Amino acid sequence: MTAEPVRRYPPNDLLRWERLERGWSWEEVAARLTASFQSVDGDNRAVEGNTVRRWEAGERWPEPRFRKHLVLVFGKTASQLGLLTPEELAARPSQTQTALLDSGSTLSRQTLLRGVLGVGVSTTLLPLLGPKDALGTVTEVIRGAKRPGRFEVESYAEIAEWQRHLYWTAEAPLLFEAVLAHTQMGLQLVRDAPPSLRRRFMPALAHSALLAGRLAFFDLRHTAVAERCLQVARTAVNDTKDDQLAVSVLAHSSFVPGFAGHRVTAERLLAGARGHLRATSGARLRAWVHCVESEVATRCGDPAIGVAHALRAEESLGTRGEDPPWLDFFNPARLASFRGYAEMLARKTGAIDTLNSALANLGPEANKQRAVILLDLAAAHAQHDAEHAVELAGQALDILSFDYYATGYERLPLVLERLPELPYRAQLNERLQATIPVLA
């Protein structure tokens, strides 16, 4: 039997995590270090991938000259990369563990809420959004009275889980306010918790911030707020060492630039998701990431690549691996909707069949997705069966008038564009105008 390598140092999870965030292999890190040595120091030394692996595993400790170039390659400080010894860490002016817990962090409650003020929320949240002195005194009393413990960790996580389930049935604006408040509460609890409990808060905080980001972006199209919430989720998940959750947060984050056509930014986030995906398993999780890649490619004007990714998603469903329980939002019907959208924009002849299959297999709770698929079907039918297209779009508007979903409404321009001017486009416009007052 081969003896296991001896760990002389603690495993460097921070370095490993930063590598996975970027989707880099050990060999890719080594190649970048080699290039950095050459360009900065004129040193032709070659770094091997196995050396990087040994640093992460705790079998070796990077010498100072390697630390310098790791900092340059990753664009992070030595402490953020886990490259400082306990003695060196003790010399720091501040002992905060992560950027999220730093009182000066850009992810503070005040910064997050400043973004919310710009998009408008109901008056029920205004007390939470007031100046610091309006809430500060009460907060300080509470913080001084009791620090969060295990009960608060478990209770916070349980509420985050139930809010996630409510996504399918609750009104989006109302749920968004509740989830945003829960995320704010999580930020405060994390700051006040003793160091031994902070990491236990992080998964639930990541889930809560992710749900807030999903609601803000997909349901309400408050992009600025969505970006802030997703930034909180990314920072929180960085401290969880949960690769599957990191995949979800990074892939969800890629939708924001992807929908805006910023493919380079979206691909950078997807590369991080793929890096974490290589460290875990899950057939549906792999398939879902391919679907996200399909949506991003399609939104960025390359639906043919979108179709290819959707086909790879179908192949991934036949593989093995244990999926996380929170991946219940993705199934074969959702996969078919991603594929059908790409096929429709690529003008593939099978788009209608794919979308009909997705529609037939949706669960009763999936009204938002049903409206989207109906509008995609309407766009697919518009040029050869305009009457049926208007009927399908009308069904979607019936759903959206009672279950508002911004992503659904954004499908309408393509349907209108593909419909003949008279009388069908006019009919759908009239139907849309009749729906808008219901939303007010």
Lowest mean pLDDT among 74-78, 89-93, 310-314, 412-416: 89-93
Token pair in block for residue 90 = 């003790």
How far does Cα 176 stand from its chain's mean position?
Answer: 16
The verdict on domain 13-85 having CATH code 1.25.40 is no
Report the pLDDT value the prediction gives residue 196, as an integer from 0 to 100. 80
Task: Give pLDDT tens digits for 395-410.
Answer: 999 999 888 899 999 9
How far does Cα 68 stand from its chain's mean position?
Answer: 31
* Max Cα–Cα distance, the chain, nearest Å: 78
Q: What is the mean pLDDT of residues 364-370?
A: 92
Among residues 295, 302, 274, the alpha carbon closest in space to that of 286 is found at 274
Query: Pick the residue with more confidence: 122 or 414?
Result: 414
Q: What is the mean pLDDT of residues 108-137?
A: 40
How far does Cα 51 stand from its chain's mean position?
Answer: 32
Please name the residue that has the structure tokens 């030595």: 78
**pTM of model > 0.85:** no
Judged against a pLDDT cut of 80, whether residue 107 lies above it is answered with no
Angle between helices 263-277 and 283-299 (to 10 degrees): 170
Question: What distance in Å separates the CA atoms of residue 260 and residue 227, rounded to the nearest whole number?
Answer: 13
What are the residues whose beta carbons fall under 8 Å from the beta carbon of 283, sequence distance 6 or more?
A: 316, 317, 318, 319, 320, 321, 323
Phi-psi region at 307: left, alpha or beta (left = phi > 0; alpha = psi -120 to 50) = alpha
- Kindly indicate the confidence band of residue 79, based on its pLDDT and cuts at 50, 70 and 90: confident
Task: Give pLDDT tens digits for 295-318.
Answer: 999 999 999 999 999 999 999 998
Query: Pick the residue with more confidence: 350 or 120?
Result: 350
Question: What distance in Å separates the CA atoms of residue 180 and residue 170, rounded to the nearest whole number?
Answer: 14
Judged against a pLDDT cut of 60, whether residue 130 lies above it is answered with no
In this structure, what are the phi and psi dihedrals at residue 158, rounded to the nearest 5 degrees?
-65, -40
335 neighbors 317 (Cβ within 8 angstroms) = yes
Domain ranges of the chain: 13-85, 106-235, 242-348, 362-440
Token pair in block for residue 199 = 């990491």
Q: What is the mean pLDDT of residues 411-419?
A: 93
